[in-house]
Structure 1
């Protein structure tokens, strides 16, 4: 039965008899004076509206939803609740919410034959054509698979889901086809999805139970890792988060490390770089990137590192002052000696372990004085506003090198080359006491609380301009050490 777009009293009562006095969006009880009616699925074009596509909704939700249909708005609120308060959400988390904790990752039996691959699904047996990659000679097939057999490939796809990305794709895929399939690998009877997780998540959130997939049959893992990293780094359309790339590069370098330590010859970072290059045919820059990732991740994963809780990619439960990209450009670049070094591992000359401990301790000194109890976006008080200025993109790239230059003379470091290895040495309690004083001095400068609106430009990622602004306000390395502005 269809009726005009404006429904009458009898039709409204029919809808209420079916739905009950409950809001379609969140099922809360409705008072008669609070009831309105709207479309469940998007209404497109003039003409008729089916009663089956109309639901009762409270006035509040009907105003808040804007141009969304009721079903879209309901899914939007549920998606927000799914992401709110969670540090990280991955595909498996979403599948668990939508399909149930035991409703995904179910086994899929696949038998290969000369004529193709036989897939034994719950709905019945199907045969698909088996393809071969001309470059790697690995076999794969295309099939429309139930979402219940999929799960996230944690080895190849460690990236967390982005709320906005899932929502945008959800809206798009409700009315458009999926152009590219999700890419998976079959390991035993497990179908592990490693590319296209946002498209898959969006479709499952929209209620689809079958997804188009390209499935590799027991592919060589290392080669797929290399392919996946290249696709999200040099060839990327949508990049991994910096922390995810760092983690994966570090993991691959760690795999190479196990082989490297068993070889003859010098054991230095430089030698390790050359070993990686020879093993997987990388450029020197790419090999160095992997070694650098190992070093950075070692600092990031230190159990005492308090800064980690203020990094967006590590804590998605709130707005945070730092991203991995910003951390790499500032603290890591200024305070970690650039690899590769030629110092022999496990000798008195090799100080990476000292550097790690020293940097984490310095980071904690800074966190305790500038972020802990102060970073509070929900309050927006004076303490938070000061922290917000301190951690602006430009400000960070100015005061962190200023702090390094102020620390250097207190450690007896004069040569510019040695400043590049400023924490690459054993340090004493007296040294850290001096660092605490310098950090306190830096944070006490009036520029961080100055109401001059021009200083708000410290949030822009322009290091030289920010340095000029700080110097113009009297904040210099010499001032931090104790000189006059």
Structure 2
């Protein structure tokens, strides 16, 4: 077989690929190819894989994309390019509906009727009948079936499926499902004439990318009564969170877990305040209510409180824009997981308070204001605005390198505990209660803020961060705490507090 095509054949390919307006677009990216752009003629099915040079197998592509595709077929590489671009454009905040739009799958409304032993679903084109089963624990009916994807949607928007889609996991499942069956169904609930998927999002998205049009689903039927529907929602929420945390296979990102628990917390808090006497309205009594009236364990109840505190703190703070939804997202300086591990325990009071809500002893609102002020100082003195993603082959300016060093995970794990002592010095902690409550106190005054600022200046202006490239960078890339390095270089807690070692 010949590999190259003639100039006359190239002209034919060009005419075939031109739009009606005369523009020529790259087959991979869709970008308009200008007179000065470098482009190439390539095989849809690679020549190395027995793709011939018939003009139907030839397309015009921009050189920069063609050189990146290796020996992938053009259609496969184009799909991968569009998927990667989607994740980059939306900064990895991808849900199932984004994958549907990418594959041009439009939702289809349907009607269902329930009979004694089965359920019938009809959208005017497709009809399905499924046998009904009953769940004795949740006390609801459910069914299994092969469901058209056009009937499905993600159960988000304060729903049961809060996770964003992880790119690497999606690609792995997509490739696996090309040659292997789907062993377990995705899980959904049928509510308001919609089938909302809340478990198996990655699996379903992988099937969609493989152009599958029907998938195996287990669907719980939400009761029509509002109180029963809410109970099913709450029961499924807790079950789903436990499955992905305590009994995890693929865990929720920490930020997702916090956000979902916070939603439940707020709902149940509303029930608590509307049914219990005003003089009992405190965090401690609410925890007891969750245990006695809602049958949560004390540990789970306290976790709900912590999640609400932490979620509110980060959302209202200056570090929010620097914090990734997905803990492993390298496009952000911080992750919720790192904040939860290192920063929050050294700034926030994460235990239930005995003070009545909105009383003179309730400092939750002022705690948020205090954390907001501290976060502004962290951004300012920690050079967060100068943090950039570490891209292979890209050289960093001195200030960018310094910012990346400061916010390496190992560095944050090491200096974040200093924050507790910095606050102790600024607020003049004396009692154990002071040391436990940290920013849970009246809104800081200018003098206290200035004291914190002076300490953070010492912390982030230390010579350690400005050393020549080499040893310091090889040591900081570790995710472990770097106590030995900090002590050896003189960046100690005593130095940060006093300027002396």
TM category (shorter chain) comes to: 0.7 to 0.9
Counterpart among 407, 431, 443 of residue 448 in structure 2: 431
1:86–1:317: 8 Å Cα contact kept in structure 2? no
Give the CA deviation at 1:139: 1.4
Contact 2:43 2:53 in 1 (8 A): no
Counterpart for residue 101 of structure 2: 96
Q: What is the match of residue 299 of structure 2?
A: 285
User: Cα–Cα, structure 1 residues 65 and 337, in superposed 2: closer, same or farther, change >3 Å?
Assistant: same
> For 1:363-414, what per-residue CA distance to the aligned partner results, in whole angstroms no more than 9, with x for missing partners?
1111122234311236621112111111122211221222331331232213
Partner residue, 2:28: 25
Alpha-carbon separation, structure 2, partners of 1:111 and 1:19: 53
Consecutive unaligned residues of structure 1, counting only runs of 5 or more, are: none
Q: Which residue number in structure 2 is paired with residue 138 of structure 1? A: 140
Kindly tell me: are residues 95 and 483 of structure 1, through their superposed partners in 2, closer, same or farther at Cα, counting changes over 3 Å?
A: same
Cα deviation code 1:33-67 (max 9, x no counterpart): 93232428996xxx998979945464664542224
More deviation, 362-371/404-413? 404-413
Give, in angstroms, the shift of residue 79 of structure 1.
0.3
Please name the residue that 2:276 is paired with. 263
Shift of 1:341: 2.6
Q: Deviations over 1:184-243 (max 9, x none)?
A: 111121111111111222222332222222221115211111111111111111111111
Change (3 A) 1:74 1:443: same
Equivalent residue for 1:39?
A: 45
- Structure 2 partner of 1:295: 309
After superposition, the Cα gap between the structure-2 partners of 1:17 and 1:410, relative to the gap in structure 1 and judged at 3 Å, is closer
CA distance, structure 1, for counterparts of residue 14 and residue 124 of structure 2? 33
After TM superposition, list the pairs within 5 Å mapping 1:215-364 onto structure 2. Answer: 215-218=219-222, 220-261=232-273, 262-264=275-277, 266-302=280-316, 305-313=317-325, 319-364=331-376
Q: Are 2:191 and 1:187 aligned?
A: yes
Give the Cα separation in 2 of the matches to 1:342 and 1:42. 72
Q: Whole-Å Cα distance in 1 between the matches of residues 476 and 167 of structure 2?
A: 29
Q: Which whole-Å CA distance do the structure 2 matches of 1:8 and 1:405 have between them?
A: 71
| SS at structure 2 position matched to 1:225 | helix
Q: Contact (CA 8 Å) 1:42, 1:69: kept in 2 or not?
A: no
Judge conservation of contact 1:151–1:193 (CA < 8 Å) in 2.
yes
Pairing 1:93-132 to 2, within 5 Å after superposition: 93-99=98-104, 103-104=106-107, 106-132=108-134
Work out whether residues 354 and 424 of structure 1, in 8 Å CA contact, stay in contact via their aligned partners in 2.
yes
Match of 2:377 among 357, 365, 368: 365
Aligned to 1:438, what secondary structure does the other structure show? helix
Conserved? CA contact 2:14–2:60, under 8 Å: no
CA drift of 1:147 comes to: 1.9
Q: Is the Cα contact below 8 Å between 1:21 and 1:29 reproduced in 2? A: no
Cα distance in 1 for partners of 2:34, 2:44 equals: 15
**One of 433, 455, 475 as aligned partner of 2:472:** 455
Aligned length: 470
Query: Structure 1 397/117 Cα, relative in aligned 2: closer, same or farther at 3 Å?
Result: same
Given that 2:43 and 2:52 are in contact with CA atoms closer than 8 Å, whether structure 1 keeps it comes out as no
Q: Contact conserved, 2:324 with 2:336, CA < 8 A, in 1?
A: yes
1:199 corresponds to which of 194, 198, 203? 203
Preserved contact between residue 309 and residue 315 of structure 1 (Cα < 8 Å): no
> What secondary structure does 2:188 align onto?
strand
Residue 171 (structure 1) shift? 2.0
8 Å Cα contact 1:247/1:293 also seen in 2: yes
Tell me, yes or no, if the aligned pair for 1:85 and 1:316 is still in contact at 8 Å: no
**1:422 is the counterpart of 2:438:** yes
CA separation of 1:394 and 1:29: change in aligned 2, threshold 3 A: closer
Shift in CA distance, 469/85, structure 1 to aligned 2, threshold 3 Å? same
Counterpart secondary structure, 1:128: strand
RMSD: 3.3
Q: 2:425 aligns with which of 405, 409, 417?
A: 409
Point out where structure 2 has 5 or more consecutive residues left out of the alignment: 19-25, 224-231
